[in-house]
Amino acid sequence: MMPSIYHRWQQRLASLKDNLLNKLLLSKPKNVPASTPSQSYPTIGRYEIRAELGQRGNTMVYRGWDPKLGRDVAIRALLPSFSVTNDFYQRFQSEIKVIAALEHPSIVQVFDFGETDDHPFVVMPYLAGGTLERRLAEKTYTLRDMVPIIKRIASALDQAHQQGIIHGQVNPGNILFDGEDQAYLSDFGITQFTEATAGEGSQDAIQLQLDYISPEQAAALKAEDAIITDEKSDIYALGVTIFEALTGQLPYQASNRYEAALARITEPTPQLRSIKPNLPRTYQALIDRAMAKNPDDRYKTATHLAQHAEEIVSGRWYFEPITESLSTTSTSNPVDPSPDNLASPLTAEAGSVEKSIGRYHVQEELGRGAMGVVYRGYDPQTNRQVAIKVLPCVFSFAPEFRQNFQREAELVAKFNHEAVVRIYDFGEHQDQPHIVMQYLPGGTLADRIGKKLLDLRQTAKIIKRVAAALDEAHRRNIIHQDVKSANIMFNAAGEAFLSDFGIATILEQTGFSEDTAQQVGGTPTYMSPEQAEASLNKTPYQPDARSDIYSLGVIFFEALVGQAPYPNPTSYATLLAHITQPIPRLSEINPSLSPECQKIIDRVLAKNPAERYPSAGAFAHDVIELASGRMLLRRLTDDLVSLN
């Protein structure tokens, strides 16, 4: 090795040794002095700085507080000492807009970005669960424990790759966890911040992680050629991460990190059992393919890697080649980046609505109802499409509205769940309150049911996601109050999301009413008997999680037969039916449905709340058992036993 190359890399290793975010999270937070009546928190933009999480080079990460949405955030900012050129800022803006438009349940989202004193900053969710690297310092993982993490990270990588975005820095330090132990992938290629962090050095070197470098990247490094990052190098780095999680050490050991990086060019892939002899032999096939020296020999996608891992722990590892060949076109859920994620401002020729709501450009109306109008909009600051719900202006004149509206919006903004539509912003524009949310281009469940009956497996998948969101909300004492098929929406990949948390409560507390049903929040078709009774009698109603579960049961009924259980021409008749009429027989509408379907419906739509499922998850469990055939198999087995 040439001495000049070695010394240059020795100088850079200090900067590249550990990923920035991991180091920051490992650092003991340095608290900003507590505020006093005469002293307020320092701010970056609208965000209060509550603690310094750590400094690296010319960047600082803070734990911040968003007073507008009432939630903790992480703020990554350049220090004033760093000289920001116009070219630097232009490249930063270009990169951050692409990354902000990359929406995925397991990608750390960009909430906001801007500049303060001519220095850019980025605002992201604050994830309190730490990094995978910190966890690996305490213990190794089994592959079974790693599978949920691998699945989430692989799904995030594949969506990014489909949009032409390469992560380039996959490692345990960039895998974070929230308070519910869900894994997230962070630090998608904001190279301008990386440059500021690393200091002097070439662009290729800055983006390189020596511990997770692929053989082809190591060969380019040795030859002093340009380092190329692509989908296959991300998959290789994920393979190294899995190796490290299973064994507690990196695959290649050498006197320095440069030599370890070059070792992967010539040395064979290390054996897991040479480090941990108790690991199953079947694990090695996963590592051999993920870390293959030839990029063409690696998994086609990160999802294929995740599938193989899941099959290994389930004992089905020998089916992997068959599964891959069958799922090449169906598992990746290709996303068209231009209309759904990478938005572009509308032109006059596109027939756009010439109107703005705050900084958001209104593009088209998506729908309207008693709760207001929903528009598809464009946020020029983050270069992404958004959904803007504009509530009736009459609300602004109700004295108690602003307080209720802000409280509910803050409550929902804090509620971060992968199956709940995210809230980005809220406020008032020309006396009309509005909420800015994640835009989901896949339509609603109501649209899908209106076109055709859903397959039972499809329905079970939707119920499972929505039930998980409801259970988490109920755990936080948040009641939806308006669970209905029109409030279940889909992203471009077909994943279900529950929307409109808290809107019904705002309506109720404000006293707005289009009909008597609205006085307790909700929609008559989906109301529980106790909600319906309160509506008809105009009596106070205490929101209850079991009403949400009942409403989810109505959706299940609707998906099975294509109609609601109590279809009536008027709201009054529908409400009365929920209270007085018996639960409909599915066999009278669709004779092909099994008795097990009716048993589930009878329980979830029970008139007495105490007789319903104790949680949405318990209801979803039975629906999944039904869809898998296990429930029917148990009945047939019981019948055979009784015959004997």
71-83 per-position pLDDT tens digit: 999 998 888 877 7
The answer, yes or no, to whether residue 330 has pLDDT greater than 80, is no
Q: Residue 374's closest CA among 436, 317, 429?
A: 436
245-284 residues labelled b (16+ CB within 10 A) or e (exposed):
bbbeebbbeeeebbebbbbbeeeebbbbeebeeebeeebe
What is the rounded distance in angstroms from the CA atom of residue 422 to the CA atom of residue 435? 10
- pLDDT, one tens digit per residue, over 397-423 is 555 665 666 666 777 777 788 999 988
Total residue count of the chain as it appears in this document: 644
The answer, yes or no, to whether residue 109 has pLDDT greater than 80, is yes
pTM score of the predicted model: 0.54
3-class state of residue 187 by DSSP: coil
Higher-pLDDT residue of 633 and 176 is 176
Average pLDDT over residues 610-625: 96
Average pLDDT over residues 552-581: 94
Mean pLDDT across the chain:
80
Strand 372-379 and strand 43-44: the pairing is unpaired
What pLDDT, on a 0 to 100 scale, did the predictor assign at position 601?
97
What pLDDT, on a 0 to 100 scale, did the predictor assign at position 428?
75
CB 497, CB 485: distance < 8 Å: no
CB 20, CB 264: distance < 8 Å: no
Q: Residue 620's closest CA among 565, 535, 542, 549?
A: 549
Q: Residue 41's closest CA among 32, 30, 28, 53?
A: 32
The domains spanning 342-438 and 445-638 adopt the same CATH topology: no
DSSP 578-625: HHHSPPPPHHHH-TTS-HHHHHHHHHHT-SSGGGS-SSHHHHHHHHHH
Q: How far is CA 138 from the centre of its chain?
A: 27
Strand partners, 78: 59
DSSP run (H or E) holding 196: helix 191-198
Higher-pLDDT residue of 197 and 319 is 197
CB 60, CB 54: distance < 8 Å: yes
Residues 6+ apart with CB under 8 A from 315: none
What pLDDT, on a 0 to 100 scale, did the predictor assign at position 511?
45
| Level-2 CATH architecture, domain 3-327 | Orthogonal Bundle (1.10)
User: In the chain, pLDDT over 90 holds for what percent of residues?
Assistant: 45
**Two structure tokens written together for 461:** 């998948």
- pLDDT, one tens digit per residue, over 506-531 is 444 444 443 433 345 678 999 999 99
What is the rounded distance in angstroms from the CA atom of residue 617 to the CA atom of residue 244? 34
What is the rounded distance in angstroms from the CA atom of residue 84 to the CA atom of residue 229? 26
- pLDDT, one tens digit per residue, over 249-300 is 999 999 888 899 999 999 999 999 999 999 988 899 999 999 999 999 999 9
3-class state of residue 249 by DSSP: coil
**Two structure tokens written together for 518:** 């609205």
User: In the chain, pLDDT over 70 holds for what percent of residues?
Assistant: 76
What pLDDT, on a 0 to 100 scale, did the predictor assign at position 406?
66
What pLDDT, on a 0 to 100 scale, did the predictor assign at position 141?
96
Domain limits, the chain: 3-327, 342-438, 445-638
Higher-pLDDT residue of 267 and 85 is 267
What pLDDT, on a 0 to 100 scale, did the predictor assign at position 18?
40
3-class state of residue 55 by DSSP: strand
The answer, yes or no, to whether residue 566 has pLDDT greater than 60, is yes
3-class state of residue 59 by DSSP: strand
CA distances from 589 to 199, 455, 525, 562, 631 (A): 69, 16, 18, 9, 22
| Level-2 CATH architecture, domain 342-438 | 2-Layer Sandwich (3.30)
CB 107, CB 160: distance < 8 Å: yes
What pLDDT, on a 0 to 100 scale, did the predictor assign at position 80?
81
CA distances from 6 to 13, 179, 302 (A): 10, 42, 33
CA distances from 35 to 45, 48, 106, 338 (A): 18, 11, 34, 45
What pLDDT, on a 0 to 100 scale, did the predictor assign at position 13?
39
What pLDDT, on a 0 to 100 scale, did the predictor assign at position 38?
39
Q: How many CB atoms lie within 10 A of CB 289?
A: 18
Under DSSP, the state recorded for 479 is: -
**Two structure tokens written together for 449:** 């049911």
The answer, yes or no, to whether residue 346 has pLDDT greater than 60, is no
The residues annotated with a catalytic role in the active site are: 482
**Two structure tokens written together for 265:** 């060019």
Average pLDDT over residues 126-138: 92
Among 111-115, 464-468, 589-593, the range of highest mean pLDDT = 464-468
Residue with tokens 């734990």: 63
What is the rounded distance in angstroms from the CA atom of residue 473 to the CA atom of residue 470? 5
The answer, yes or no, to whether residue 327 has pLDDT greater than 70, is no
3-class state of residue 424 by DSSP: strand
What is the rounded distance in angstroms from the CA atom of residue 415 to the CA atom of residue 421? 10
SS3 of 66-125 = ECCCCEEEEEEEECCCCCCCHHHHHHHHHHHHHHHCCCCCCECCCCEEEEECCEEEEEEE
Residue with tokens 């209309």: 339
Packing angle of the helix pair 616-628, 456-475 (nearest 10 deg): 160
- CATH classification number, 445-638, choose in 1.20.1250.20, 3.10.450.200, 1.10.510.10, 1.20.1280.260: 1.10.510.10
**Two structure tokens written together for 448:** 């899908």
- pLDDT, one tens digit per residue, over 190-240 is 544 555 444 444 343 344 478 999 999 999 989 888 888 899 999 999 999
Residue with tokens 């440069």: 258
The answer, yes or no, to whether residue 310 has pLDDT greater than 70, is yes
Under DSSP, the state recorded for 36 is: B
Lowest-pLDDT range of 179-183, 332-336, 571-575, 614-618 = 332-336
The answer, yes or no, to whether residue 41 has pLDDT greater than 70, is yes
What pLDDT, on a 0 to 100 scale, did the predictor assign at position 14?
39
Residue with tokens 């990247």: 217
